[in-house]
Amino acid sequence: MTNKISEDIQHQHSDWQNRALIAVESTIAAKRQITYQALAEAAGIPPPHRINKLTQWLETLIAEDAQAGRPVRAACVISKVRGIPAPGFFACCHEHGLLAETADTESFYLRVLTALMAPD
């Protein structure tokens, strides 16, 4: 029975990640941004700690994009209050060699967002 519960949890987890990815890609295609809260709702991330689950997934997305040399898709996800991603976005970008420690985060963000929204 425990194995069945684990499979169900894993299945639910991958479902919200798939929905989150679709929402992120749709947001980018529309050349828009989405808040963490709106993305959590669109993806149907189950409570508790919805935003924490989302930010962990976004950090994985940043790592994948950095490794593949792609524009950082997580740049389209912003804080409603700040109007830019949360500090963890910048820390993760730094961790993956995308952002120098001494770099201006606002300039970096504008470059990353511009690259992400550039026409194909």
Mean pLDDT within 81-100: 96
- pLDDT score at 1: 41
pLDDT reading at 5 higher than 80 = no
Q: What are the backbone dihedrals phi and psi of residue 5, each rounded to the nearest 5 degrees, phi first?
A: -65, -45
Q: Which residue has the higher pLDDT, 94 or 4?
A: 94
- pLDDT score at 53: 97
- pLDDT score at 3: 44
What is the residue range of 59's domain? 2-117
Q: Which residue has the higher pLDDT, 120 or 39?
A: 39
Question: pTM to 2 decimals?
Answer: 0.86
Distance CA 101, CA 66 (A): 16
State how many domains the chain has. 1
